[in-house]
Amino acid sequence: MEKLNKDNAYLESIETLLYAVEAKDSYTRGHSDRVSEYSVLIGKYLSLSEEELNILRIGGIFHDIGKIGISDQILKKKGKLTDEEYLEIKNHPNIGKNILSNSTIFKDIIPIVLHHHERFDGTGYPSNLKGEEIPYLARITSIADSFDAMTSNRPYRTVLSLEQARSEIEKNSGTQFDPKIVKVFLEVLDYHYDEIQEIQKKY
């Protein structure tokens, strides 16, 4: 019974936070759902455990939760951000970590929320982690996040084609992204693209 109550509390907490995200920016909800499912899809072809896949699922949903603390003027701005605005955007992983740190039930997904903007070459944020210093699941979410950002409309630019997005992911293998995960993701695009399309149809 205790486990059931904990599970119910976990699900209720998730739903509450999801409503908060959607109220902030309706685009963010669809983006986070797709990132969640893309991450799980990549994880499946990396032969991850069910527990790891579940962490990816929830981590993907909440990877941008920190944007609740970023002003709408910046989030919805059309055109290039100023240096000051970009610095504010870069704070959203830390804001997200602080929000989720208030509850122990989210401890497993905090590494994803905090580190999905790190880069494999060490030039990312917020901690300039490099290579395998970056949590493995965050490296997966990073690719899923970037792919969705490129293949869905944003206030500051139009959608890229699949070929353009694929080229960008491949070009940034070893610099922005973990090359081993990129290899698997490109295989998903080449041989299992129908699964990508199913996710896109849902959201």
User: What are the catalytic residues?
Assistant: 67
148 touches 199 (CB < 8 A): no
CA–CA dist 72, 142 (Å, integer): 23
Cis amide leading into 135 (omega within 30)? no
Coil, strand, or helix at residue 101?
Answer: coil
- Please give the structure tokens belonging to residue 10: 């976990």
Give the type of residue at 151.
T
Burial of 100 (0-12, 13-18, 19+ CB in 10 A): buried
Question: Where do runs of H (alpha helix) occur along 67-135?
Answer: 72-75, 83-89, 92-100, 110-115
CA–CA dist 48, 175 (Å, integer): 24
Q: Give the residue from 83, 88, 94 showing the smallest Cα distance to 72.
A: 88
* CA–CA distances in Å: residue 60 to residues 39, 151, 155, 157: 7, 17, 21, 23
